[in-house]
Structure 1
Amino acid sequence: MTLQMDLPTLDDYPTRKGTEAALLYRRDPTVWGTAEDGPLSHSRLQEHDRRGYTRFGSLLDPDEAAGHLDEADRLVADPGLRDDERAVVDPSDGGVRSVFEVHRVSGAFDALVNDPRLVEPARQLLGSDVYVHQSRLDHRPGFGGGPLYWRSDFETWHAEDGMPRMRAVGFSVALTDHHSHNGAPLVIPGSHRTYVSCLEDGEHGRSGTPDRGTLTILADRHGIDTLEAAPGDVTALDANCMYAAGANITPWARSSLFVVYNSVENACEKPFGGEGPRPGFLASRDFTPAGR
């Protein structure tokens, strides 16, 4: 009789297991496709490979951006949404700050998530069909909404969702003006080439949050870019880029759609952090290709 045993999956990106944070070399490409595979030129692909992000000015026209902002305002004002598990509510005033799986909540955002203007560059960057790993509407009203601390999304998706490789990309669609003074996202360009293995009990006591020493090393090495944007502008951000956002202390709201496309060849499996997978509205287990 032959006894079969389940061997542990080799983990090239360990995290939340050691007693010290570590900087590890990335073991995956940033760009999986070529200029012949989609709308991005060879120079744009090189730019994405070098910086870890690329930007599309006015991908949505002003009327489209305004229409999606109206839909976003409708959602965050919907009192029925406050009790939905997909909504993140500010305990100080009861306002909705984020809506996860927003493409399942709104037909307008479902159409945008499956729009070829987003899906085709994602396919090109990842070299395959893609599915929606996560979508969310982020809304920071005037004088409201705290900062988003530094993070690499891939570290979370790997540890908590079971995403095996760095073969995912997030698209941020600006629905309002994003200025440095109303908390526009910050990114450390080039940080995608280094994987930050975090402590289980990270900065501010949150699992997977990079420590200050590691962030200082990355910022000193690469600098920090501010991703200012106008309504309709889009930024494609590699899954392993280190990014953050400031608080909005201005009178002007900051809203955006964030959609994560993962390669269908990189479908999530058992989480590498040792705990059960997160709910489907945070990390989808529906691997149906987007835009098909």
Structure 2
Amino acid sequence: MKLTQDQVEQFHREGYIFMPEAFTPEEVTLMREAALDIFRTPRPEIWMEKSGVPRTAFACHTYNPVFRTLAAHPRLVEPVEQIFGERCYVHQFKVNAKSAFSGDVWQWHQDFVTWHNDDGMPEPRAMNISVFLDDVLPINGPLMLVPRSQGSGAIEAGHDTTTTAYPLWTLDDRTVAELVEQGGIVAPTGKAGGLLMFHGNLVHGSAGNITPYPRKIVYLTLSAVSNAITRPTRPEWIAHRDFTPLQALADDALLAHRAAPVAAE
């Protein structure tokens, strides 16, 4: 899948692109069921909220066939290669649960700061990709973005290890207020199957979810191969060391995971 010229220009100007319903309901069902199966089984790669519910399942593309397919899906890989002008690899893959009633906040931050400080990523030549597995509503903790904030480069951040169960390099309130005054806040919402791509330096965060509506989202970070990390400090299942370029699969590859029909007796 190639981006249009308008989409490319929007990405460079605003720092993000949103494509509603980029995946079909059938494809979403396969991915949602895969995510539910993952969250049912305790694994070291699954990070829990302080309340005890799942927060994030890391690296599930390494052991789940549906998400292995998604990681190499052409609707994700080809636009990233188009933007960067080179092949890419999976730097990080995770499913964020944002559980009903108890999904916690993600503080305001830029992802590249973490990739650089904790993983030794040289430049912000890595793309964040979000695939909605549930309907993302204005009320159930949608991801909030500060348009054009990527133009500020990497901003000095503090390492927050107390607010939530997951340590993060976060921005102070004054910095966020100044950036929002310039660019505002947008919160892409829509039906399951939506696809969001945004710059590694785009400031973003999300509020907690106190509604009955879960908000599961797949997050991938695809990095240019020339931008591979140099001094990782986090586990391999958070910051991957396999820099093999992705080979995009066929566009209908997810549908190969449909259960085979039961033969009539």
Identify the TM-score tier after normalising by the shorter chain: 0.7 to 0.9
The corresponding residue for 2:46 is: 87
Q: Does 1:127 align with 2:90?
A: no
C-alpha distance in structure 1 between counterparts of 2:171 and 2:117, whole Å: 14
C-alpha distance in structure 1 between counterparts of 2:168 and 2:99, whole Å: 27
The corresponding residue for 1:186 is: 144
C-alpha distance in structure 2 between counterparts of 1:152 and 1:164, whole Å: 15
- Quickly say closer, same or farther: Cα 1:124–1:87, change in 2 above 3 A: same
Question: Map of 1:93-104 to 2, 5 A cutoff?
Answer: 94-104=52-62
Question: Map of 1:11-90 to 2, 5 A cutoff?
Answer: 39-78=2-41, 82=42, 84-90=43-49
- Quickly say closer, same or farther: Cα 1:261–1:236, change in 2 above 3 A: same
Q: Does 1:214 align with 2:175?
A: yes
Unaligned runs of 5+ in 2: 249-265
Q: Percent identity?
A: 29
Q: Does 1:259 align with 2:220?
A: yes
- Quickly say closer, same or farther: Cα 1:200–1:183, change in 2 above 3 A: closer
Unaligned runs of 5+ in 1: 1-37, 271-275
SS of equivalent residue, structure 1 residue 120: helix
C-alpha distance in structure 1 between counterparts of 2:26 and 2:128, whole Å: 23
Q: Does the CA contact (< 8 Å) of 1:203 and 1:212 recur in 2? A: no
1:22-81 deviations in whole A, cap 9, x for unaligned?
A: xxxxxxxxxxxxxxxx61121110011111000122211111111211111111122xxx
C-alpha distance in structure 1 between counterparts of 2:162 and 2:102, whole Å: 21
User: How many residues of Structure 1 are paired with residues of Structure 2 in the alignment?
Assistant: 245
Q: Does the CA contact (< 8 Å) of 1:203 and 1:211 recur in 2? A: no
C-alpha distance in structure 2 between counterparts of 1:222 and 1:101, whole Å: 33
SS of equivalent residue, structure 1 residue 68: helix
Root mean square deviation, CA, Å: 1.8
SS of equivalent residue, structure 2 residue 62: helix
CA drift at 1:85:
2.0
Provide TM-score, normalisation by structure 1: 0.80
